[in-house]
Structure 1
Amino acid sequence: MGNLFGTDGVRGVANSELTPQLAFELGRAGAYVLATNAHKPKFVIGKDTRISGDLLEAALTAGILSVGGEVIKAGVIPTPGVAILTRELKADAGVVISASHNPAEFNGIKFFNGEGFKLRDEIEDKIEELIEFGFEYPVYIGDGVGVVTEMNESTNVYEEFVLSTIDTDLNGLKIVLDCANGAAYKIAPEVFEKAGAEVIVIGNDPDGININKNCGSTHLERLQSEVLERNADFGLAFDGDADRMLAVDEKGNVVDGDQILNIFAYHMKKQKCLKNDTVVITVMSNMGLDLALDELKCKSVKTKVGDRYVLEEMLDKGYNLGGEQSGHIILLDHNTTGDGVLSGVQLAAIIKKENKSLGELSAMMSIFPQVLVNAKVNNNKKYGYLEDEIIQGEIRKMEIMLEKKGRVLIRPSGTEPLVRVMLEGENLNEIKTMAENLADMIVNRLA
């Protein structure tokens, strides 16, 4: 099993790989697995702004209704908002229709359980098994068929929640927000304005096909320009479903997820609320974060890539801060998943309380040069590098060259037909050439 669900739900090109039929099957199987003890299980469904969202929402809803489930449509709302609503409404599950940072032609479906946490691997395997082996479901007729409720005030619930997590206003801060033409296009500006900030917004005119297009957390160039041109204090960029956030400081410098985590660790330790003085990060985190956390007398625990694995470690060991370099920040005292708007509000509150610029705060961490190159490889060959002796030999040579002053990390993507080649070291040009050569080798050897 495990071929259908990636690290963040089921994804593919909408209406081609992720078809209405598959969406229907996911809805039906998900309802059956997640609510076997409830005659009318309740599901909250939210989506981002992709043109295919309506298509998949209709099919997914039909699948849930067909086995007696009830659906509450939350409309366009960030992924973490669905987690909040699922808990607030005491639903059996939440479902998000989004492909996060991917281009508009892609879409995805991911589930939360009734507590707002992403599903465990074994639950996803059960759903996949029902789909693969053609399970015969109970047939509901008459009043046994499920119904749909439209929730028009869903964004208000999420906005109020986010604002309740800070104990200061944001008066005096001038902030540029890039909403990626995605799920946060309306919510994020409203939240920051209600908190008292002066807000300049870009990427807030979705048309169904411009989500993440030259905007958002994967394309920071425009945000950098806007921060400088508007003389803003800083800028924040979200991705398509707003579960991640990256920042730009007052000088236009990018502040990534590692630096943001270090800022949170610094402030939370000062406030004596960083549990076990520990931050959960991934193997992709920059070596500079380890050194910065050590300076703070904090520890780091590393997991494999994927915010779900960061969360699992946090829950298992009782930590309350974790995240990824990509900007997934999990503040477990507040929410059960990465939350870009929440993280942005919290970062702004820290800047206000510390009375320091974002540039000053981010400078507490020095970044080792890091290069990431994607090697395009068919999904069924993504792990072939592990058994290829020539590729493995080249990796070993590079590790010897870098010694203890760098590292090589190879990671197959969980959502795309790619093998990600990451090198870290002191000399940027050197590691860039090494990474490109290794990626070319992987493509040629696994073609």
Structure 2
Amino acid sequence: MTLIKSISGIRGTIGGKPGDGLSPLDVVKYSSAYARWAKDTTKKSKPTIVVGRDARISGAMFESLVCASLSGMGCNVVNIGLATTPTTELAVVKEKADGGIILTASHNPAQWNALKLLNGNGEFLSAVEGAKILDFAEAEDFVFADVYDLGSISEKDYLQAHVDHVLKLELVDVDAISKANFTVAFDAVNSVGGIAIPALLKALGVKNIVPINEQPSGYFAHVPEPLPENLIDTCKLVREQNVDVCFVVDPDVDRLSIISEDGSMFNEEYTLVAVADYVLSKKPGNTVSNLSSTRALRDITEKHGGTYTASAVGEVNVVTEMKATKAVIGGEGNGGVIYPASHYGRDALVGIALFLTHLAKSGKTCTELRKTYPNYFISKNKIELTPEIDVDVILVKMKEKYRNEQVNDIDGVKIDFEQEWVHLRKSNTEPIIRIYAESINQQSSVALAERIINEIKRLI
């Protein structure tokens, strides 16, 4: 069993002894610690907390435990039920709530779940805030409310509010999308995207919708991370169905991958590149993505006269850098689009609306649009960790080995060569080292990744 406690939330596999996996007792403990933090931060006796969840099998159990724990701590709870991560983020703001908890393990398989923690702006907590909650949890430093001070629990549905919010964005052109008469497929991996995406597409005027894995059962039809190796069957269906584009999301709908009309992958790294190209053509400015993202965003940004900045991996780090540089668009190369005109969170629904607008206005097919962008190739790899492996020592040794190259160590070790780069970092969400390598062709990126992996293995 696995339990990962980090500033980005509490994530683990379901079952096992408390402290080994993400057991019901752990859920209660960390929810209660979060409630203590919310009370301390707001100085309110009854802060309001929004709770939303994806459709994974353990979700209903988690929902009950979290809502009851928050109520038991004296917090008022707005339970929005099955909802995307960005829907929950927006609900925090619209409710003028003091925070939120999203019950999702994002791209992890069905045996995982997590508590993702939000502040009153509907954004992920800072490192300092997250550390404080972990301290409260480990010390069990919280006191439950007396019977007359228990918090209330109310239920609301925020899907339509989210859809309406997207439609009101200045750069979303519903008329252009409707007139394009697209046939649009989507793969929701049997989670909440099956509820949210068709609602959005219909509101955007898309009449021909081809659903794939749309039932929000939580029994994922394939490995839920929207990577090419997990979407072979979906790509085949796209070729057979004669669609213009297919959108693929992860279980909580904050990552967006695109399949072109011929069944080829648009490439999740290029979701942000394409959306940024459209946004920057209308609103020139700066961009941000993390160290593990493609160089293509830098190229597109500079083409439009803006400045590109790389941040440490993690949505909170990207958002912090976006605010510092006043970026007009940003995100992560995993298909995460962050559009400040909407909100500071990865949002696949916003990404879908902006991409469809871009596609409609371009007059191109997906494959034609993809060819207009710089062509880089990323090889994404990982090495499984065992408890005795000291990742920090490995990273220091790799940094020393490549000291004559351009090295960035704000998050793991990124080594920039003239035409390629490799980024090594310990994952915050899984017991692995991620090794991402990008080059000018697939063969070179794979070769670079394999070389670095072999060097790491010799150090283990």
TM-score (norm 1): 0.90
What is aligned with 2:107? 101
Residues 147-187 of structure 1 deviation map (CA, whole Å, 9 limit, x = unaligned): 21122x33222222223333423320111111121121111
Tell me, yes or no, if the aligned pair for 1:180 and 1:217 is still in contact at 8 Å. no
What is aligned with 1:182? 191
Task: Give the residue type in structure 2 aligned to 1:160.
Answer: D
2-structure distance, mates of 1:310, 1:78: 20
Q: CA deviation at 1:430?
A: 4.6
What is aligned with 1:199? 209
Tell me, yes or no, if the aligned pair for 1:181 and 1:212 is still in contact at 8 Å. no
Q: How does 1:223-262 map to 2 (within 5 A)?
A: 223-262=234-273
Q: How does 1:436-447 map to 2 (within 5 A)?
A: 436-443=450-457, 445-446=459-460
Instruction: Please give the secondary structure, in 1, of the residue aligned with 2:320.
Output: helix
Task: Give the residue type in structure 1 aligned to 2:185.
Answer: V
Instruction: Please give the secondary structure, in 2, of the residue aligned with 1:201.
Output: strand
What is aligned with 2:15? 15
Task: Give the residue type in structure 2 aligned to 1:351.
Answer: L
Instruction: Please give the secondary structure, in 2, of the residue aligned with 1:87.
Output: helix
Task: Give the residue type in structure 2 aligned to 1:227.
Answer: V
Q: CA deviation at 1:286?
A: 1.9
The verdict on how the C-alpha distance between 1:214 and 1:130 changes in structure 2, with shifts beyond 3 A counting, is closer
Tell me, yes or no, if the aligned pair for 1:112 and 1:119 is still in contact at 8 Å. yes
Is structure 2 residue 129 aligned with structure 1 residue 123?
yes
Residues 353-403 of structure 1 deviation map (CA, whole Å, 9 limit, x = unaligned): 232322233222222232222111136633231244xx5576569999995
Task: Give the residue type in structure 2 aligned to 1:10.
Answer: I
2-structure distance, mates of 1:154, 1:258: 29
After superposing the two structures, state which structure 1 stretch, 161-170 or 36-45, moved more: 161-170
Q: CA deviation at 1:40?
A: 1.3
What is aligned with 1:146? 151
Tell me, yes or no, if the aligned pair for 1:255 and 1:362 is still in contact at 8 Å. yes
Q: CA deviation at 1:22?
A: 1.5
The verdict on how the C-alpha distance between 1:200 and 1:100 changes in structure 2, with shifts beyond 3 A counting, is same
1:318 paired residue among 326, 332, 336: 326
Instruction: Please give the secondary structure, in 2, of the residue aligned with 1:35.
Output: helix
Q: CA deviation at 1:117?
A: 1.1
Tell me, yes or no, if the aligned pair for 1:258 and 1:289 is still in contact at 8 Å. no
TM-score (norm 2): 0.88
Task: Give the residue type in structure 2 aligned to 1:201.
Answer: P
Instruction: Please give the secondary structure, in 1, of the residue aligned with 2:380.
Output: strand
1-structure distance, mates of 2:34, 2:328: 29
Task: Give the residue type in structure 1 aligned to 2:360.
Answer: K
Is structure 2 residue 279 aligned with structure 1 residue 268?
yes
Task: Give the residue type in structure 2 aligned to 1:213.
Answer: V
Instruction: Please give the secondary structure, in 2, of the residue aligned with 1:177.
Output: strand
Question: Which ranges of structure 1 fall in alignment gaps of 5 or more residues?
Answer: none
Tell me, yes or no, if the aligned pair for 2:329 and 2:339 is still in contact at 8 Å. yes
The verdict on how the C-alpha distance between 1:373 and 1:396 changes in structure 2, with shifts beyond 3 A counting, is farther
Q: How does 1:7-406 map to 2 (within 5 A)?
A: 8-16=8-16, 17-36=21-40, 37-137=43-143, 139-151=144-156, 153-165=157-169, 166-169=172-175, 170-171=177-178, 172-197=181-206, 198-210=208-220, 213=223, 216=226, 219-271=230-282, 273-274=283-284, 277-378=285-386, 381-388=390-397, 403-406=417-420
The verdict on how the C-alpha distance between 1:228 and 1:136 changes in structure 2, with shifts beyond 3 A counting, is closer
2-structure distance, mates of 1:396, 1:316: 29
The verdict on how the C-alpha distance between 1:95 and 1:119 changes in structure 2, with shifts beyond 3 A counting, is same
1-structure distance, mates of 2:51, 2:37: 17
Q: CA deviation at 1:280?
A: 0.5
The verdict on how the C-alpha distance between 1:314 and 1:360 changes in structure 2, with shifts beyond 3 A counting, is same
2-structure distance, mates of 1:399, 1:421: 17
Task: Give the residue type in structure 2 aligned to 1:222.
Answer: D
After superposing the two structures, state which structure 1 stretch, 354-363 or 429-438, moved more: 429-438
Residues 267-307 of structure 1 deviation map (CA, whole Å, 9 limit, x = unaligned): 22332x23xx2110111122333333333333211011122
After superposing the two structures, state which structure 1 stretch, 214-223 or 301-310, moved more: 214-223
Task: Give the residue type in structure 2 aligned to 1:123.
Answer: E
Residues 112-169 of structure 1 deviation map (CA, whole Å, 9 limit, x = unaligned): 11211111111111111111123142x4222201221122x33222222223333423
Task: Give the residue type in structure 1 aligned to 2:210.
Answer: I
Q: CA deviation at 1:7?
A: 6.4
2-structure distance, mates of 1:80, 1:319: 19
Is structure 2 residue 420 aligned with structure 1 residue 411?
no
Tell me, yes or no, if the aligned pair for 1:402 and 1:425 is still in contact at 8 Å. no
The verdict on how the C-alpha distance between 1:403 and 1:128 changes in structure 2, with shifts beyond 3 A counting, is closer
Tell me, yes or no, if the aligned pair for 2:7 and 2:129 is still in contact at 8 Å. no
Root mean square deviation of aligned Cα: 2.6
1-structure distance, mates of 2:146, 2:225: 47
Tell me, yes or no, if the aligned pair for 1:188 and 1:341 is still in contact at 8 Å. yes
Task: Give the residue type in structure 1 aligned to 2:205.
Answer: G
Tell me, yes or no, if the aligned pair for 2:245 and 2:259 is still in contact at 8 Å. yes
2-structure distance, mates of 1:398, 1:417: 28
Tell me, yes or no, if the aligned pair for 1:23 and 1:60 is still in contact at 8 Å. yes
Tell me, yes or no, if the aligned pair for 2:279 and 2:329 is still in contact at 8 Å. no
Instruction: Please give the secondary structure, in 2, of the residue aligned with 1:320.
Output: strand
2-structure distance, mates of 1:370, 1:217: 12
Residues 48-83 of structure 1 deviation map (CA, whole Å, 9 limit, x = unaligned): 111111222222222211221111211111000001
Tell me, yes or no, if the aligned pair for 1:410 and 1:422 is still in contact at 8 Å. yes
Task: Give the residue type in structure 1 aligned to 2:310.
Answer: K
What is aligned with 1:423? 437
Name the % identity.
Answer: 23
The verdict on how the C-alpha distance between 1:403 and 1:150 changes in structure 2, with shifts beyond 3 A counting, is closer
Question: Which ranges of structure 2 fall in alignment gaps of 5 or more residues?
Answer: 408-414
2-structure distance, mates of 1:427, 1:233: 27
2-structure distance, mates of 1:331, 1:232: 27
Tell me, yes or no, if the aligned pair for 1:281 and 1:324 is still in contact at 8 Å. yes
Task: Give the residue type in structure 1 aligned to 2:13.
Answer: V
The verdict on how the C-alpha distance between 1:370 and 1:270 changes in structure 2, with shifts beyond 3 A counting, is closer
Task: Give the residue type in structure 2 aligned to 1:11.
Answer: R
